[in-house]
Amino acid sequence: MARRTQRTNPPEDVIDHRFLQFPQTLDNATRARYVNNLRLLLTKEIDIAPLFDWELATQTGLAALIHDFLQYKNSDASGVHLLVCQGWARLFRIQEPVYQEFLLEFYATVSYDPRKTPNDRTSFSFKLGGVSRECSVIELAT
């Protein structure tokens, strides 16, 4: 959850994180946009929980619902699951303080093309963990 308050001195350890060192191979305009977005983000205070509380989610009855959203399932025509991806679920089980870097990288690099349809898999593009990714509006909402 991001706060709207201003910060006077951005943390130096965040600036030097490898996810926030955008590759020199990007075209100059894209790299400049990412760096400018990051500079603006670093003036904000961003509160990030150190980990997701699965125990609380279980107690409130939300764990099963959340778990279904964190899986990508590819099924054949008869409904048999050919592939079940646990990538997002594994991300939420990380017990390391990397969430701030992930969040800053995502916010600094996200872009949306409103001319595309909600199910177009290239309407949102962003970097996460140093890797360029694309998804549809529907996939991002999920």
Structural domain spans, the chain:
52-93
Structure tokens of 19? 């996810």
Q: How many CB atoms lie within 10 A of CB 22?
A: 19
pTM exceeding 0.85: no
Q: How many CB atoms lie within 10 A of CB 107?
A: 16
pLDDT in tens, 19-61: 788 877 788 998 899 989 988 888 887 666 656 677 888 898 8
Contact 71, 89 (CB under 8 A): yes
| Greater pLDDT, 132 or 82 | 132
Contact 107, 87 (CB under 8 A): no
Q: Find, among 73, 103, 70, 102, the residue nearest to 89 by Cα.
A: 70
d(CA 61, CA 118): 30
pLDDT in tens, 59-111: 988 887 777 666 666 677 787 766 666 666 666 666 666 677 787 888 889 89
CB burial class (10 A; 0-12, 13-18, 19+) of residue 106? Answer: middle
